[in-house]
């Protein structure tokens, strides 16, 4: 899905879609029309005010357009919501406005400028797929799905309270009014969810009724005779697959959570829940955050490109974009260095350049540069073409972790080790070796990397230790001009604090955490292979300061994220795999137990979005990724693969 921005003209100073030959809002009073058709028709002021303090409410929309519905809803939300409730707004758009067009359109509504400014600051790059924008101070998230709604909506995982059907008129944009799409709308709707649209076309009424809605015709706005509202009064039971998402989420009770591990995975989870009003206890066996694999002096932030046809569904690319949105917070100016990153296309790294052919990302995110331009961007001589990621860079891990843990809802227990987890009466207890209770809560998140295999509930999760060693080297006249991060299989950062970070070795199943000359030589040889002149100018290896740690890796290089199935029950349910039978039951999950594990060397890129997935699961929110991504991240995927292998062996023996 290549995103083609909306083609806009401005007759009378108002936005007009050249793609669909229609206006974006009424020439009379667009904001009043939106209020009447969507906010009033769905009784949102009353429904917002009636929410419980810790409730979650979801609105979904077909047709983001100028964002006017979203901003009007945001304004009403701020005026009527209970203090602790959260609003989740999901919107689909095939042809999003460019930032300039969006700014011009929203400038027409002075009463909404406070909200428009915040939206424009977080407005995502126009790439296909899921974009999660979190406005934590307003208890609000916007999930933008950019691309063809008929492809994206079936992949949305959400429970929707209200629908805004705001595509262009059915005769101008029939794709948004087809039965297939409105059937997906019905499947995502809660019982008694409501829907409204300005359209009163007979085809809309008939299609909604065919999808399962009870439809009502109402008076339209202004001179328009009629509009349509609808209610979902019954729900068909959804079919379950072997990795259906968790249906045993915590009930609405005290918002207390335990996060085990204070690396970037645990810190991200603690922050995501704390922002949502949860009281979080972080338990860490070291005496500070980011003590293990998350504790390197610099973390390189960049994506590896997906094959073009997978771009809209690629977890790593989406994680990268999601993290960039969070790092642009002005409070992190001293933590994040948006230096740009050059990926050298030499040796076996050339294949990365092939992925750029037909790739749907715009040049603002990635482009190929020849050696001359690469040299200008780097600040020193580069002899090969590169992929250039202008918005990539590096961050300071411990500073970021400390900043995110600095929240009144987060309490940290240092130098504390959990030996056992015990669940009883809807409460999890974290126990020490002598069985004393360290902490207790309704939810536990395991973010303790390889240490998760020491707990009974998670000992069967397949995590592989991978040793990594980096070096800090003093800058000099040759190295100091470096302006961009260089990647070539290893990496070299620009100077910070008069030092560069050079990394990193990658040794699976090696558990040695001592700094070795052998790994220093390995990192030096990588640099010498791709940047020989630069390597000659580096200080002597004997002067390097090193750091080694263990990453926790999975065999498919994706993390394990989400609710944890019960291993013993899983094996019983899926034993029929070895007999070649299809299993239809969904797995049984531990109630209130989640994992964020196996992030490998991509922890700082993966973990923040993984935390949003877990927070969505716990809080009954729309998920920030597609259903196929949730399946790809499910912790039980490796158990299924093992059972399928047994099935293959069984058949071969027969």
pLDDT given for residue 246 in this prediction: 55
Question: Which pLDDT tens digit goes with each residue over 328-366?
Answer: 877 888 899 999 999 999 887 888 888 898 899 999 999
Q: What is the largest CA-CA distance in the chain?
A: 82
Instruction: Name beta bridge partners: 58.
Output: 88
CA distance 630 to 609: 12
CA distance 486 to 538: 15
pLDDT given for residue 639 in this prediction: 80
pLDDT given for residue 596 in this prediction: 98
Average pLDDT over residues 132-157: 94
Average the pLDDT over each of 62-71, 200-209, 392-401 and give the range with the smallest value: 200-209
Query: Rounded to the nearest 5 degrees, what angle is found at the Cα of 336, between the Cα atoms of 335 and 342?
Result: 145
Question: Which pLDDT tens digit goes with each residue over 161-191?
Answer: 999 998 777 778 778 888 889 999 999 999 9
Residue 203 has pLDDT above 90, yes or no: no
The two tokens of residue 607 are 């973990």
Residue 606 has pLDDT above 70, yes or no: yes
Average the pLDDT over each of 226-240, 329-343, 591-605 and give the range with the smallest value: 226-240
Q: What pLDDT band is residue 214 in, cutting at 50, 70 and 90?
A: very high
CA distance 218 to 195: 12
Domains of the chain (ranges, CATH numbers) = 8-232 (3.40.50.150), 256-292+399-463+556-653 (3.50.50.60), 298-395+464-553 (3.30.9.10)
Residue 278 has pLDDT above 70, yes or no: yes
Which residues neighbour 532 within 8 Å (Cβ) at sequence distance 6 or greater? none
pLDDT given for residue 236 in this prediction: 58
Supply the DSSP string of 77-98, one letter for each residue.
HHHH--TT-EEEEEEEESSPPP
Judge residue 568's burial from the number of C-beta atoms within 10 Å of its C-beta, 0-12 exposed, 13-18 middle, 19 or more buried: exposed
Peptide bond into 504 cis (omega under 30): yes
Q: What DSSP designation does 64 have? A: -
Strands (E), 188-337: 189-197, 213-219, 226-232, 256-260, 279-283, 299-301, 336-337
Question: Which pLDDT tens digit goes with each residue over 535-564?
Answer: 999 999 999 999 999 999 999 999 999 999
The two tokens of residue 171 are 């005769």
Instruction: Name beta bridge partners: 259.
Output: 282, 445
Tokens 């328009």 correspond to what residue?
224
pLDDT given for residue 581 in this prediction: 53
Which residues neighbour 364 within 8 Å (Cβ) at sequence distance 6 or greater? 125, 390, 391
Q: What pLDDT band is residue 248 in, cutting at 50, 70 and 90?
A: low
Residue 314 has pLDDT above 60, yes or no: yes
CA distance 559 to 196: 39
Residue 654 has pLDDT above 70, yes or no: no
The neighbour count for residue 254, using CB atoms within 10 Å, is 13
CA distance 51 to 367: 47
pLDDT given for residue 438 in this prediction: 98
Judge residue 414's burial from the number of C-beta atoms within 10 Å of its C-beta, 0-12 exposed, 13-18 middle, 19 or more buried: middle
Which residues neighbour 613 within 8 Å (Cβ) at sequence distance 6 or greater? 561, 562, 623, 624, 625, 630, 633
CB-based contact 305:359 (threshold 8 Å): yes
pTM: predicted TM-score of the whole model, two decimal places: 0.94
Average pLDDT over residues 43-63: 95
CA distance 341 to 244: 38
Query: Rounded to the nearest 5 degrees, what angle is found at the Cα of 461, between the Cα atoms of 468 and 289?
Result: 50
pLDDT given for residue 253 in this prediction: 64
Residue 238 has pLDDT above 70, yes or no: no
Question: Which pLDDT tens digit goes with each residue over 452-485?
Answer: 999 999 999 999 999 999 999 999 999 999 999 9
Which residues neighbour 297 within 8 Å (Cβ) at sequence distance 6 or greater? 396, 397, 470, 472, 499, 501, 547
Q: What pLDDT band is residue 531 in, cutting at 50, 70 and 90?
A: very high
Residue 99 has pLDDT above 60, yes or no: yes
pLDDT given for residue 240 in this prediction: 44
Average pLDDT over residues 511-531: 95
Q: What pLDDT band is residue 569 in, cutting at 50, 70 and 90?
A: confident
CA distance 136 to 276: 8
Percent of the chain's residues with pLDDT above 90? 77
Average pLDDT over residues 598-613: 96
Pairing mode of beta strands 589-597, 560-565: antiparallel
Pairing mode of beta strands 341-344, 386-389: antiparallel
């Amino acid at each position: 899905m290549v995103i083609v921005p909306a083609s806009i003209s401005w007759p009378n100073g108002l936005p007009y879609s050249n793609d669909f030959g229609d206006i974006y809002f009424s020439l009379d009073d667009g904001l009043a029309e939106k209020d009447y058709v969507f906010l009033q028709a769905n009784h949102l002021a009353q429904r917002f005010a009636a929410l419980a303090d810790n409730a979650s409410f979801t609105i979904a929309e077909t047709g983001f357009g100028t964002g006017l519905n979203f901003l009007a809803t945001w304004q009403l939300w701020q005026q009527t919501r209970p203090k602790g409730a959260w609003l989740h707004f999901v919107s689909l758009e095939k042809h999003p406005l460019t930032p300039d067009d969006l700014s011009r359109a929203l400038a027409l509504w002075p009463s909404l400028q406070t909200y428009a400014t915040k939206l424009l600051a977080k407005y995502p790059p126009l790439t296909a797929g899921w974009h999660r924008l979190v406005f934590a101070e307003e208890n609000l998230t916007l999930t933008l799905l950019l691309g063809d709604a008929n492809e994206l909506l079936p992949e949305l995982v959400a429970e929707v309270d209200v629908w805004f059907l705001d595509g262009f008129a059915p005769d101008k944009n029939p794709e948004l009014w087809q039965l297939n799409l409105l059937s997906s709308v019905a499947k995502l709707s809660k019982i008694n969810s409501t829907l409204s649209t300005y359209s009163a076309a007979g085809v809309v009424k008939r299609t909604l009724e065919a999808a399962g809605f009870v439809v009502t015709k109402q008076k339209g706005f202004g001179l328009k005779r009629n509009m349509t509202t609808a209610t979902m009064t019954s729900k068909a039971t959804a079919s379950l697959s072997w990795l259906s998402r968790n249906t045993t989420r915590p009930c609405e009770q005290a918002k207390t959570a335990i996060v085990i591990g204070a690396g970037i995975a645990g810190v991200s989870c603690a922050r995501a829940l704390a922002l949502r009003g949860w009281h979080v206890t972080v338990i860490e066996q070291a005496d500070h955050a980011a003590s293990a694999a998350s504790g390197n002096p610099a973390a390189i932030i960049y994506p590896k490109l997906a094959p073009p046809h997978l771009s809209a569904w690629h977890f790593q690319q989406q994680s990268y974009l999601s993290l960039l949105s969070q790092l642009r917070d002005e409070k992190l100016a001293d933590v994040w260095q948006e230096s740009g990153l050059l990926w050298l296309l030499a040796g076996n790294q050339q294949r990365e350049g092939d992925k750029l052919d037909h790739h749907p990302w715009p040049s603002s995110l990635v482009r190929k540069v020849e050696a001359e331009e690469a040299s200008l961007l780097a600040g020193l001589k580069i002899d090969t073409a590169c992929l250039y990621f202008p918005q990539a860079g590096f961050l300071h891990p411990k500073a970021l972790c400390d900043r995110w843990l600095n929240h009144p809802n987060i309490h940290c227990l240092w130098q504390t080790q959990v030996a056992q987890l015990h669940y009883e009466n809807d409460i999890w207890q974290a126990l020490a070796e002598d069985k004393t209770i360290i902490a207790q809560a309704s939810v536990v998140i395991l973010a303790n990397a390889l240490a998760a295999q020491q707990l009974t509930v998670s000992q069967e999760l397949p995590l592989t230790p991978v040793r990594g060693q980096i070096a800090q080297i003093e800058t000099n006249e040759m190295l100091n001009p470096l302006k961009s991060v260089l990647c070539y299989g290893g990496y070299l950062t620009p100077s910070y604090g008069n030092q560069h970070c050079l990394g990193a070795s990658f040794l699976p199943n090696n558990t040695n955490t001592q700094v070795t000359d052998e790994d220093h030589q390995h990192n030096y040889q990588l640099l010498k292979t791709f940047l020989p002149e630069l390597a000659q100018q580096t200080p002597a290896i004997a002067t390097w300061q090193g750091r080694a740690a263990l990453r926790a890796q999975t065999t498919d290089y994706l993390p394990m994220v989400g609710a944890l199935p019960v291993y013993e029950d899983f094996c019983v349910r899926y034993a029929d795999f070895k007999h070649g039978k299809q299993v239809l039951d969904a797995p049984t999950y531990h109630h209130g137990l989640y994992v964020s594990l196996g992030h490998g060397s991509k922890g700082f890129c993966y973990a923040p979005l993984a935390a949003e997935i877990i927070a969505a699961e716990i809080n009954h929110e729309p998920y920030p990724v597609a259903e196929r991504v949730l399946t790809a991240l499910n912790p039980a995927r490796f158990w299924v693969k093992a059972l399928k292998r047994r099935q293959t062996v069984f058949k071969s023996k027969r």
